Amino acid sequence: MNAVAEPILTVKNLNKTYAGGFQALKDINLEIRKGEIIALLGPNGAGKTTLISTICGIVRPTSGEVTVAGYDIIRDFRKTRAIIGLVPQELTTDSFESVWNTVSFSRGLFGKAPNPAHLEKVLKELSLWDRKDDKIMTLSGGMKRRLMVAKALSHEPSILFLDEPTAGVDVSLRKDMWNIVSELQQAEVTIILTTHYIVEAEEIADRIGVINNGELILVEDKNRLMQKMGKKQLLLDLSESVSSLPSSLSQYNLELSDDGYQLIYTFDTQSKNTGITSLLDDLKLANFHFNDLNTTQSSLEEIFVNLVNESSRA
């Protein structure tokens, strides 16, 4: 990802309140840079789909401003929508139509002249070329999911929204989808995806945004986020079980496993002094002997759960 790339999408003070009074988006501010992959995480009903739908023109904002490539999404809707591709969460297809006709329709609808060569390339990349004349109803769930991507790519968008692209698909297809995303990034397509699978965000995203109760509670570079908010632990397997710890070790806030065979030391990865050396010295002085030791780092999933829980409590 190019860290200094210009923003291609800017969201300023965006609010959305539905007719029933439910506020789905609360003062969202977000900048997305050209060519990056940003994953929006959040529990069900957090506002992820509303945010995407608003940017794409499906949902009308209550207040705020959204610009795409410098153009306002309402005043200059033709310019903004022409460069956006959307893969919705639901597998919504016209079952009786053929694969070729539906991608041709999508391309035309987005104002592009017919280009069979481009459509052929997209369908081949998504392993749908052999099924181009088949009716959509004859495709498997995974193929339909790929077809949704093909439709979104038919008009050569420079921004692609993927709303839970791998929801309900098997592991193999999920990996295929990640490969597709990776190839699109190489082609400088900006990708905004929502997902429930944290591992997906961990695998492919450059930046992570966390939405909860309509609020964007965090947007951060993935690696920095994991470094900043992730906990690291040193696990020490003892050769003999202990029932309590001596007072000389109290400063380390050690946890002792139920069976007394493991000590767990949590430390700050960003601190200059992790305290590991002095801990090991003090353990030696206290006559502790180990069979093994290893370290673990908290996953994005743990960070996400902590963030959402903190946000919900606030």
Half-sphere exposure of residue 135: CA atoms within 13 angstroms, side-chain side: 6
Indicate if the alpha-carbon torsion angle 108, 112, 113, 118 is positive or negative.
Answer: negative
Q: Does position 93 bind another protein by CB under 8 A?
A: yes
Residue of 33, 48, 151, 174 that binds another protein (CB under 8 A):
151
- Beta-strand runs (E) in 34-111: 37-41, 63-68, 71-72, 84-87
| 48-87 positions binding another protein, by CB under 8 A | 53, 56-60, 77-82, 84, 86
Residue of 45, 70, 111, 260 that binds another protein (CB under 8 A):
111
Alpha-carbon gap, residue 124 to 181, rounded angstroms: 15
Residue of 92, 172, 186, 247 that binds another protein (CB under 8 A):
92
Closest CB to another protein among residues 90, 240? 90
Q: Does position 22 bind another protein by CB under 8 A?
A: no
Residue of 105, 129, 197, 261 that binds another protein (CB under 8 A):
105
Number of residues that bind another protein (CB under 8 A): 37
Q: Does position 167 bind another protein by CB under 8 A?
A: no
| Interstrand relation of 63-68 and 71-72 (parallel, antiparallel or unpaired) | antiparallel
**Two tokens at 219?**
């947007």
Q: Are 143 and 128 in contact (CB under 8 A)?
A: yes
CB of 215 to another protein, least distance (A): 19
Residue pointed to by tokens 């001596």: 246
CB atoms within 10 A of CB 124: 12
- Phi then psi for 238, rounded to 5 degrees? -85, 150
Alpha-carbon gap, residue 244 to 20, rounded angstroms: 57
* Residue 55: closest CA among 77, 36, 40: 77
Closest CB to another protein among residues 157, 208? 157
- Beta-strand runs (E) in 73-214: 84-87, 159-163, 190-195, 207-212
Closest CB to another protein among residues 144, 231? 144
Alpha-carbon gap, residue 85 to 103, rounded angstroms: 12
Q: Does position 104 bind another protein by CB under 8 A?
A: yes
Closest CB to another protein among residues 108, 168? 108
Closest CB to another protein among residues 190, 262? 190
Alpha-carbon gap, residue 113 to 35, rounded angstroms: 25
CB of 294 to another protein, least distance (A): 48
Closest CB to another protein among residues 61, 229? 61
CB of 58 to another protein, least distance (A): 5
Closest CB to another protein among residues 59, 242? 59
Closest CB to another protein among residues 112, 232? 112
CB of 77 to another protein, least distance (A): 6
Q: Does position 133 bind another protein by CB under 8 A?
A: no
Q: Are 194 and 48 in contact (CB under 8 A)?
A: yes
Q: Which residues sit at the interface with another protein, rule CB under 8 A?
A: 18-19, 53, 56-60, 77-82, 84, 86, 88, 90, 92-97, 101, 104-114, 151
